[in-house]
A and B are shown apart, each in its own frame.
Chain A
């Protein structure tokens, strides 16, 4: 192996593996990538590993167990540049729903012997535990964005990632607004672009996988969405989704619950 090639390690925390699969799914690009970098540690792709330290660490998943709290610290020490890969790693992911409930209750429902489990009461993003150099959102991550980040790192520049909402991507691909046209609640107007506006293009509202953009006007979106709810509480549930633990969405859902504008309560 070329000594000049940067070494890359890929780690999994609590997650569905989907982001690692997107890496493996790159096919053509993966060959080029393997040419450009030394995939030194990527268990899902190859059992052969090389010892650290690594130039780039890609970390998938959120921190949900005491063991993971320790492990991420070790990984940080071995990584020059650490990227949180996917919304589990950047915001906690869908498993962060437990943050708004009693994880113990969930465990009792699912497992016969929850006492064998050793877990934390919350699922948290990597950045709550160690310094993260770059966050790449998405459920799963967008492969073009992954490549852009690697290309940027190899070429000494900041990656060009979108700063705008999903709506702009919808319009660039000619998708008609599902929120206005069909009355489908859609988090697109508050969500940062990156997926290529996949869901609206197939007639569904945006689930906010890529998280809110920096100054997304979530309160104004709440007002718009509550007018088109198809069942009581839909807006609140939409925020409490894939990126439910992203601070702006937490605030939005909490605001609905606390001000009593949660339409579920009205119909009870």
Chain B
């Protein structure tokens, strides 16, 4: 096959697994910072990866309410470990971002903005649910009437390599939320991992160029069927499920339901669910003032509707109880979000279930509203 041959957009090619290292190198040559799943301190994080050996090959994650366990099973696959607490959100919507600094000179304030180069990330191993989460955050931060310059600059530069999920975890319910396990659209490259080879579906011109000269063959019908079967099996093995047919109405019609009180008694108001959620977008801005009051640094940080100070203003706190905070979170995520953005705010990744120390599981809470509402 000639060396400058490029696959067509929409085509699926097959490459030997070790060839993937060449793709990572190409991305780095093009100036991307390649980020992917990595094992650190016996858990899974998203961090820079240099080569395939950095990926969690042979690992899986066992997940249940308030339980996460990274386990080495010794299989030979690279992308079987369902992600942990971290999500791609931290790269596009950084948890802390300096906005500007001000200095008072002759009764006027002079502004300076940090001269940081906007990073170009290549996300390696984005799950279907995670891609859906990124697309939801696009709607939040890049609206026609509002543009978050920090998010947009990062988002426009990002290269997204998605991965089809073959072995979902115990808290996964993407099938219910109709976001996975198959990646649909919005990627540069989509990777399907089979036992011996990777299938790559080309989603963008950037990806086409990237693959130029890399030895490939078009995927055979046999391999494609193999991938389909894997995805069908994955879809049947979701650890959780949620009936969304009557959302958001079920929640909006039950805002005074006694179940909110019940779950409020179990909720820690610790903010964990909102912080691990790949779609939660709340933020706060803080000033750090110098001793003489003549300089200040303004910073944007992640916030949470579970922060007791979140809805405080002079005159009182709109949501002074944990019950009201939990209701705000869930009624937003699976209710009012739809009116705001056209979709629900949940992608079924299960992070809020896994990482809630109190084992609160929205796939169990929603049916409670359903049952008792009848």
Contacts and interface: CB of A to CB of B under 8 A. Distances in A.
Partners in one complex: yes
Given A172-B96, A174-B86, A189 B41 contact: no
Interface residues of A, number: 42
A213 B309 CA distance: 11
Contact of A154 (B293, B321, B354): B293
Contacts of A188: 270
A215 B286 contact: no
A185 B293 CA distance: 41
Contact of A215 (B90, B96, B269, B272): B269
Interface of A: 32-33, 35-36, 147-148, 150-151, 154-155, 160, 162-165, 167-168, 171-174, 176-177, 179-182, 186, 188-190, 203, 213-217, 220-221, 223-224, 227
B289 interface: yes
A162 B320 CA distance: 16
B68 A180 contact: yes
Contacts of B309: 162-164
Nearest to B266: A220
B53 interface: no
Contacts of A163: 307-309, 312
B291 A147 contact: yes
A174 B321 CA distance: 28
Nearest to B63: A180
Nearest to A218: B268
Given A150-B291, A154-B291, A176 B43 contact: yes
Contacts of B301: 172
B268 A220 contact: yes
A154 B293 CA distance: 8
Interface of B: 41-43, 45, 66-68, 84-86, 90, 95-96, 265-272, 275-276, 286-293, 301-304, 306-309, 312, 320-322, 354-355, 357-359
A171 B275 contact: yes
B308 A180 contact: no
Given A147-B291, A172-B302, A174-B90, A181 B43 contact: yes
Given A163-B312, A171-B302, A177-B355, 8 more contacts: A35-B291, A150-B291, A155-B289, A165-B269, A172-B275, A174-B90, A177-B85, A189-B357
B270 A167 contact: yes
A244 B265 CA distance: 23
A119 to B, nearest CB: 37
A218 B25 CA distance: 50
B319 to A, nearest CB: 11
Nearest to A173: B95
A174 B355 CA distance: 14
Contacts of A176: 41, 43, 45, 84-86
B358 A168 contact: no
A180 B171 CA distance: 14
B84 to A, nearest CB: 6
28 contacts: A147-B291, A151-B289, A151-B293, A154-B291, A160-B286, A163-B307, A163-B308, A167-B270, A171-B85, A171-B271, A171-B272, A171-B302, A174-B86, A174-B90, A177-B357, A179-B66, A179-B357, A180-B66, A181-B68, A189-B358, A217-B266, A217-B267, A217-B269, A220-B267, A220-B268, A221-B357, A224-B268, A224-B359
Contacts of B275: 167-168, 171-172
A147 B271 CA distance: 26
Contacts of A35: 291
Nearest to B304: A168
B268 A217 contact: yes
A106 B231 CA distance: 65
Contacts of A167: 270-272, 275
A216 B266 CA distance: 11
Given A180-B66, A215-B308, A151 B86 contact: no
Nearest to B286: A160
Given A163-B309, A174-B86, A214-B308, A168 B357 contact: no
A225 B341 CA distance: 38
Contact of A223 (B45, B269, B322, B358): B358
B308 A36 contact: no
Top 9 closest pairs, chain A to chain B, by CB: A163-B309, A171-B275, A189-B270, A164-B307, A172-B95, A189-B268, A167-B270, A36-B291, A168-B271
Nearest to A168: B271
A164 B293 CA distance: 26
Contacts of B266: 217, 220
A171 B276 contact: yes
A215 B41 contact: no
Given A163-B312, A217-B322, A151 B271 contact: no
B121 to A, nearest CB: 15
A32 B268 CA distance: 40
A114 B59 CA distance: 59
Contacts of A168: 270-271, 275, 302-304, 307
A213 B268 CA distance: 11
A165 B269 CA distance: 8
Contacts of A182: 42-43
Nearest to A183: B67
A151 B84 CA distance: 39
Contacts of B265: 217, 220
A180 B291 contact: no
Nearest to B312: A163
Nearest to B270: A189
B291 A32 contact: yes
Nearest to B275: A171
Given A164-B307, A188-B270, A155 B293 contact: yes
